[in-house]
Amino acid sequence: MYDFSAYTEFLEHETPETVLVCHHLTIENDDYKSFIRGKFMVCGDNAMLGMFNTSAMPKDRDEEMPTSEPHFVLGRAICPPFPPGLHRVLFGMGCFWGAERKFWTQSGVYVTAVGYAGGSIRNPTYQDVCTGRSGHAEVVLVVFDPQRVRLEDLLKVFWQSHDPTQGMRQGNDIGSQYRSAIFTYHDADHEIALASRKLYGNTLAASAYPPITTQIEDAGPFYYAEPYHQQYLAKNPDGYCGLGGTGIGYPGECQAEIVPIATTYAGQDTGPG
């Protein structure tokens, strides 16, 4: 079983250059345990592993990622200011390439972007995040119109598009940056996300899945990823996508209003042309 209290706890271990990342996961697959032990320094028995990475701690950066390019698919600016009345949510569900594509196709979604959230340094790079030392998750920023699509409908896409019981991995993508996570910007959205986790967790438990490990927190800083990561699978249709759901449906009906993507928001042409 998963120890939620230690899910994202980072502690000093031995020296300031080494940080113990308390990922207390129950790992029963011997091949996976061998892979982890080869990739990380590991302490703990065969059931509960505490993994820590001994690479240098990434540093804060003053330089922000460039965000001037419009969305490759939707043709809109990917950074604020956004039109009034729109909501934002951040979804972490493994590699953000495939995750972003899941959402830019949804009716009522104004724009998407990929980036990093939930970590401890400013303006991380992809290389920083891949060390596992910055604490960030790969996430998708979804900006949506709550009058046209409910958060519950976006959560349905989220839950059904990955396996939220896998802890610090998603399929073959292994590391804390691939953890399942939801970061919300509104109190009401936070409560909706919590309720959806409980609902889907009960559904998965009925099919003998372990508990959901999805982290749900108020959103902190969101840092845009490098331009080549943005809408990666639209630019590279044959690119890698490691997403895979459990095959178990979310127990809620989709009630989103179907609205053409080329809709006008506050006088702005939101279509790609």
Catalytic residue numbers, as ranges? 95
Query: What is the distance between the alpha carbons of residues 110 and 254, in angstroms, rounded to a whole number?
Result: 18
Find out whether the peptide bond into 227 is cis, omega within 30 degrees of 0. no
Contact 165, 203 (CB under 8 A): no
C-alpha span between 273 and 96 (Å, rounded)? 26
Farthest-apart Cα atoms in the chain, separation: 60
Burial class (CB in 10 A: 0-12, 13-18, 19+), 241: middle
Q: Residues 170, 216: contact at Cβ < 8 Å?
A: no
Three-state DSSP class for 233?
helix
Sign of CA pseudo-dihedral 150, 156, 159, 161: negative
